[in-house]
Structure 1
Amino acid sequence: MKPIQLAASLVLAGVLTRPAVANPEEPAIELEPIQVRTASRTTETTSDALASVSVISAEDIRRSAARDLSDLLRLEAGIDVVRTGGPGQQTSVFMRGANSNHALVLIDGIRVSSAHTGAYAWEHLPLGIIERVEIVRGPRGSLYGSDAIGGVIQVFTRMPDAPFLRASLGSHASRALETGTGFALGAARFSLSAGYRELGGYSAQNPDGFSFHPDDDGFEARNIHLAGNGNARAGDWQFQVTATDNEVEFDQGISVSEQVLASLSLDGQWNERWNYRFYAGWADDRLSSDFGFFTSHFDSERIDLGWENRLRLEQATLVFGLDHYDEQGRSQSSYFGSRDNSGLFALWERDRERVALQLSGRIDDNSLFGTEVTHHAAVRIAVGAKTNFILSHGTAFRAPTLSEQFSPGFGGLFAGNPALEPETSETTELSVRFEFGPAAELGVAAYRSRVDDLIAYSGPNFQAVNINRAALDGLELEYRNTWRHWSLNANLTLQETEDRSTGAELLRRPEQKSSLRMTRQFAGGAWLAGEWFASGDQADVGGVRLPGYSLLNLSAGLPLAAGWTLEARLDNLLDHDYQPAHGFNGAGRAAYLGIAWSP
C-alpha cells in the first residue's frame, strides 16, 4: 500500500471509529474553546471564525518534543514544508499550493518576511520562544495587505512566569539548551530567556545535488528573548525583543545570519463598546553567505506601525484600523531599495441565530506601485445545533520584493524591474463543520484559487516581468477527538496546482498529504504521542518527479521528582529513505533525549 493510501486509511479510521474505552460513569469530556485573533484581527473562538483556522498550542509543542516548528507545521492541513537538507537548512512553507512568499508571517503582529525574497526564514525561529501558532488558510489581503494569498501564520511568543530549564542530546551530534525565568517589578512582569543549539548534521545534498560534497553540514544557533507586560492608565502594555544568531554549513559553503525583532503594543478601551490597540515593531535581518566562488550579503530593515479598533454596535461588530510600514534593503552595495506602504482596513460582522455575515475591505497605498484594493465576504449558515456551512470569496495580492524590483542581476541577466505590478489572486471557499457530541469535530473545506500576474524571469535577458498565472484547487479534511485520556488529530489534503502558462504542475507541492497524531495521557502527567505523516509524489526541478514517502515519529514524557521531566523523541522510526527536494537528503532515523525542569 502506498504511504498516502495508508495514511488516508488511518485518517478515515480515526474519523469513522472511536475506541470502546468510554465509561458511562465518567464525566463527558468537552473540547475547550480555542481563542484566536488572526482570522479577523480581533479575539474570537475558532468555532466563531468565518475561516479555516487551526492552532498549534504550547501543549502541542511540549508533547511533540519536536526540534523545529516546521516539524509541526507539516502536520497541518493545507501546508507543505520543504527543507533542503537537515535542521538549520533553508525551509520553505507553502499554503494551499501557493508560493512560499504567498504566506504572510507575523510574530506578535509584526511582519517578519524578508524584504529581499518575500519569504520567512523558518529555520531560524527558535521553538523555545513560542507560546502558540495560529494558522489561517485562505486569503486575508482585505485585513493585512500584501502576501496573504495562501493564508496567514502568526506566532505568539511566550512569557514564562517562573524559572525553567531544558537540555537535550541526540543523533547527528545534536545538543541543545534553553533556560530562562520570569520576575516581577512592582505591578509589571518580565521574562528573560536564552537558547543554544548545535548540530553536527549530515550531508545536505546527495550526488544529484548541484554542489554535492559528502561532508556533514551542521549548524549552530543562539537566541535571547526579553518580554514584559503591565498596566498603565491608557491600557495594558506589552513588549518583546528577540535576537537570533545562526551559522549554517552547506555543501562547500557557509552562511551566517542575524535577526532582531522588537515589538511594543498597548491595548485599551475608549468606552465599554470600543476597544483599541496601538502597536509598533522593528525587524532587522542580515544574511552573509560564502561558497568560495561566490559570496553574498543582504541587509533588510522594516518598521511597522498600526492602530486597530473593535466597536460593538447594536447588532453587529465593526473592526477597523490603519497600518504603515517602511522597509529598505541592500545587497553588497550592488543595489539599495526602499519603499513604504500605508493601509486602511475595515471589517463588519453580524451574527444572528443561524446566519452570520462578514464583509471586509482594504486599501493599500504603496510608494512604488500605487494603490491596491482587496475585499472579502463570508457567510455562515447553521443547520441544526451541530452543523455549520461557510461560503467565502476574497481577493489578495503580493507586492514585488526589493530584489525583484532593484537587483542588477548577474552580468545583465536576471535583473529586477521597477515597473513590476503586484501579483493578485481571487479565491472561493466552501466549508462545513460538524460537531459529534462534546468532544469531536470534523471540518471539510474545498477551495478554488486563481493567481494572476505572477512574477517570473523571462525574455532574452531573463528580466523580472508579470507573465505567469496559476490555478490552485484543493480539498481539506480535519478531525479531532478527545476521549478519556486519549486525543486524536487527523487531516487529509488533496490539491491540484497548475502553471497556466505551461500547463505543468507547480513544483514541490504534492497532490496528496495526510497526517495522524495520537496522544495518551497517563496518571501523574506522563504522556506518549505518535505522529504519522505521509506525502504523495511531487514534481521538482528539471522535470524530475520525486516519489511519495511516509514518516512515523514517537515522543514521550515522564515526570520525575522536584519538577523534573524526562523527554524523548524518535524521528523516522522506520528509517525510510526519502528526498524532500531533488538532490537533497531527508533525515534518517534519529533519537533525542532531554530533561526539563520548572518548579
Structure 2
Amino acid sequence: MFKFTTTLKSITHLFLAVLPCLSYGYTVPEPSTTETMTISYNKSIKSLDDSRTSDNIMVHPEQTVQAPNTVANIITQQAGVALNGQGGLFQSYNIRGFSRSRIKTEVDGIPIITDRRAGNAVSFIPSELISGVYIQKGPQSTLYGSDAMGGVISIATNAFNSSAVGITMQPQDNAQHIWARFNGESISASVIHRQADNGRSPSNEGTSSTELNTQYQQLAATLSAAFTWHDIDIFASSIISQGDDIGKSSSTFPQQRISSYPQDDHLLSQIEFSSLGQWKVKLYQHQQQWQTHIVRLDDNQATARSNITDYQSNTYGAYGSWLVDNTVLGLEWFGRHNIDISEREFTSGGELAWAKTVVDADEDTYAAYILHDWHVNKLTLATGARFDSINVSAQQQTKRDNFLSLSADISYTLSAQTFASIQIANAFRFPTVSELFFSGETPRGNTQGNMDLEPEQSLGLQISINHQLTPEFSTRFNAYHYDIDDYIERYTLDNIRYYRNSERVTIRGFELINDWRINPQWQTSLGLQWQQSRDINNNTVDDGLPKALKWALNWQHNAINIRQQLTVLLERSDVGPSESTQASELIWQITGDYQLSEDITLSMSILNITDNEYRASSDEDAAYQPERTINISGLWRF
C-alpha cells in the first residue's frame, strides 16, 4: 500500500498553528561548550555530505561538564533535548518530545537499532571514545527514513586530533575509567575499561539516601584506517564492546524488582569507498547480543520468581550516493536478520519453570532518495524525496508497507545579519519488531505486542529566524508543529503493558537560544525550551519535553578553563498516563581544567552541586539521579 499524507489543507493548518511562534533557522557557534554546524544555502555545488536538517549542533564531550557516562549526558544541555526513561547507563534521550524509536541513532554512520522499548541509549560506546555527537533536528530528518521522525543523533568515534591516555576516578560509586587512544596518519585506535558500583541518591529534608542500581563493567575498543588507492578514498572501521553486570536503574529497585543486564555485547564494522566528492559507497554490519535478568520480590523481600531474556540480531546494510549535476541521488538497503528473543522463567527456588522463543524475525528496508537545491538571489529552496519499502516477518506473519517522504526548506537572507527559513516535510515510522511481535517479560513488566499496529505518519512544519545582533551576540528562535497520525502509544491494563494506535497526536513548541562572547575570557549561552504534546482528545501524551531554562558559562584564562551548566526544570503537573508529576528542579554542574603542561591536563567536576533529589524524567519508573558527585581525571597527550 502506498501512503502520502501531505495535503494543501494540512499544510495550511500547520502553518497557521506555528505562525504565532515564529522561529529561526540558521545556527551559530555555541560559546566554548559546543560547535554548531549549519546548512550552507549559497553553495553553487552541492556536497554529498550536506545535512538536510535546519538546526544542527556538534557537541564535543571534552567541552561539556564532565558527567559523561552516556550520550544523553553529553547532549542534554542543548535546548530542545532532555533525558528520557529511567536513568543509569541505559539512560535514553528525548528531542522535542520525540523519543524511543522516533529518533534515529547512528555510530560512525551505522544505524543502531536495539529493540529496547525505552529507546536507544548507545551505552555500549563509552563517552571517552566519542569525539563528537551531531544533533540534527527539524522536519527534514524524514530523509533518513523510518525512526528519524524526531531527529537524528550521529556519533563519531574517529575524529580525535591527538594520541592520549587518561584516567577518571569517582569515589562516590568507586568508578574507574582507564583509556588510551592512538591517532596516526592513517590508522586510529582506542581502548577503554570502565567500571562502577551502585551509586546513591541524595539525602536531605529528612529523607534517607537510597541505593541506585547503576553499577556497570565494560571493555570497548575501536580501530579505523583511512587511505587512498587509485584516486579512491577508502575508510574502514570496527568497534567492539563487551558489557557485564550492568544495573537497570528504576524506582522499583530494590523493594519490588531488581533488573540487570548480565551481558551487553556489540560488534560493528564498515568499509566506505568514495572519490572526489562525486560518489560514495558504504557497507556495514552490527552484531549484538544482550541479556536481561529480572528478579521479582514478594512483600517479604524474598525472590518470588525471576526471568532471563536473551536477545540477538545481525544488522547488515549498504548505501550509495552520487552527485549528478548538483543533484544527489542515493540508494540504500538496510536488513536486520536473525532477530531472536528467547525467555526463561525460574521459580523462587531457582528451578526452571518454562522456556520459549518469543520472537524469531527478519526485517528489510529498501530505499531511494534524491536531493536538489535551487538558488535565486537571496532565496534558496532545498528539496528532497525518499521512497521506502519495508518488510517484516516473524512467527509466520508478515507486515509490509511503502512510503514516500517529501520535504522542502525555503531559506531567505533578510539582511547581512538576519536569516529566515520555513521547513515542511512528511514522515513515517514503521512499528518496531518488539511493538509488533514481542510478548513476554521486560524490566518494566509483562509487555504484549500488537500485530495490528499501523505505521505512524506525520506532517511537520518549522519556521526559523537567526539574527546576529553584534559580532559577539546572536539570537535564534525555532518554532515547530507536528501532526502525527496513528501515533503508537503504550498503555497499562491490569499490570500488563500493551500497544495501540492513537488517532492523532500534536507536538508543538519553540526554542530560544542566545549566545554571547563577552570577551576573550568569558562566553555564555542561554537557552529556553517549551513544548506541548496532546492527543485528539486534548490529553497529554507520554515523553513530553520538560519546560526548561539552560544556562552555560565558560571562563578561560591562561592554563585554567572553568565551565558551568545550570538547568532550571519547571514544574510538570500535566503529564502522560505512564508518567508522574515533577516539582521544579535546579540542576547545577561545574568542571575545571588545569593545563599542567603542554601535554598534561588535570580536571575536576562537581555534579549535582546542590545535592538535589530529582528524577531523570517524568517516567513513572524513573529513579532518583545520583547524589552530589566529585570526579577527578587526568589526560596525557603524546
Indicate whether the TM-score tops 0.5.
yes
TM-score tier by shorter-chain length is 0.7 to 0.9
1:115-134 matches, within 5 Å, as 115=115, 117=117, 119-134=119-134
Match of 2:330 in 1: 321
- Tell me which of 274, 277, 290 is aligned to 1:287: 290
Number of the residue aligned with 1:338:
362
Counterpart of 2:241 in structure 1: which amino acid? T
For residues 558-598 of structure 1, give each alpha carbon's deviation from its aligned partner in whole angstroms, at most 9, with x where no partner exists: 11136111111110111111122445111221001111100
Deviations 1:495-547 (A, max 9, x none): 111133x53222343441121111112114x3111111122233265563111
In the alignment, the residues of structure 2 paired with residue 154 and residue 522 of structure 1 have an alpha-carbon distance, to the nearest angstrom, of 32
CA deviation profile, 1:6-38 (whole Å, cap 9, x unmatched): xxxxxxxxxxxxx9xxxxxxxxx9x9984779x
CA contact (8 A) 1:476 1:494 kept: yes
Identity of aligned residues (%): 17
Distance in 2 separating the partners of 1:469 and 1:554: 42
Q: Partner of 2:570 in structure 1? A: 536
Instruction: Specify the alignment match of 1:258 in structure 2.
Output: 265
Q: CA RMSD in A?
A: 3.0
Residue matched to 1:357: 381
Structure 2 counterpart of 1:172: 173
Using a 3 Å threshold, how does the CA distance of structure 1 residues 593 and 106 change in structure 2: closer, same or farther? Answer: same
Structure 1 residues 302 and 586, CA, compared in 2 at 3 Å: closer, same or farther? same
Seen in structure 2, the aligned counterparts of structure 1 residues 85 and 156 have a Cα distance that, compared at 3 Å, is: closer
Distance in 1 (CA, whole Å) between partners of 2:118 and 2:625 is: 25
Please give the residue correspondences for 1:116-155 in structure 2 after superposition, counting only pairs within 5 Å: 117=117, 119-140=119-140, 142-155=142-155
Provide closer, same or farther for how the CA distance between residues 520 and 473 of structure 1 changes in structure 2, counting only shifts above 3 A: same
Q: Give the AA of the match of 1:261.
A: L
Per the TM alignment, residue 213 of structure 1 is displaced from its structure 2 partner at its CA by 8.2
Map of 1:172-571 to 2, 5 A cutoff?
Answer: 172-183=173-184, 189-202=186-199, 214=211, 217-247=214-244, 248-250=246-248, 251=253, 252-255=258-261, 256-269=263-276, 275-292=278-295, 293-311=306-324, 313=325, 317-328=326-337, 329-332=339-342, 333-367=357-391, 368-409=399-440, 414-456=447-489, 464-482=499-517, 483-500=519-536, 502-524=537-559, 526-538=560-572, 539=575, 544-561=580-597, 563-571=599-607
**For the residues of structure 2 that align with 1:122 and 1:112, how far apart are their CA atoms?**
8
**Residues 554, 563 of structure 2: 8 Å contact kept:** yes
Secondary structure at the aligned position of 1:122 is classed as coil
Taking a change above 3 Å as real, the CA distance of residues 73 and 406 of structure 1, as seen in their structure-2 partners, is: same
Deviation at 1:418, TM superposition (A): 3.9
- Given residue 614 of structure 2, which amino acid in structure 1 is its aligned partner? Y
Distance 1:50 1:592 in 2: 36
- 8 Å CA contact 1:64–1:529 kept in 2: the answer is no
Q: 1:577 to 1:33 in 2, by over 3 A?
A: closer
Residues 159, 191 of structure 1: 8 Å contact kept: no
1:334 deviation in Å? 2.2
Query: Residues 258 and 213 of structure 1: is their aligned pair in 2 closer, same or farther, counting only changes over 3 Å?
Result: farther
Distance 2:61 2:216 in 1: 25
Equivalent residue letter for 1:586: Q
CA distance in 2, matches of 1:235, 1:175: 42
Tell me how far apart the structure 2 counterparts of residues 520 and 232 of structure 1 sit (CA, whole Å).
46
What amino acid sits opposite 1:249 in the alignment? G
Aligned CA distance change for structure 1 residues 542 and 264 (closer, same or farther; 3 Å): closer
Is 1:84–2:115 an aligned residue pair?
Answer: no
Higher mean displacement: 225-234 or 340-349: 225-234
The gaps in structure 2 that reach 5 residues or longer are 1-30, 41-45, 204-208, 296-305, 343-356, 392-398
What TM-score do the two structures reach when normalised by structure 2? 0.79
Q: Which residue of 2 aligns with 1:7?
A: none
For the 8 Å contact 2:53–2:141, the answer to whether it is kept is: no
Q: 1-side partners of 2:217 and 2:194: how far apart? A: 6
Query: What is the CA distance between 1:265 and its match in structure 2?
Result: 1.2
1:57 Cα offset (Å): 3.0
1:57/1:131 contact within 8 Å kept: yes
Deviations 1:259-318 (A, max 9, x none): 12212212213xxxx71111111112222011232221111221110001234x4xxx31
CA drift at 1:456: 3.8
Displacement of 1:161: 5.9
| Contact kept in structure 2, 1:66 and 1:569, CA below 8 Å | no
Aligned residue runs from structure 1 range 105-116, under 5 A:
105-115=105-115
Deviation at 1:217, TM superposition (A): 4.0
Partner of 1:9: none
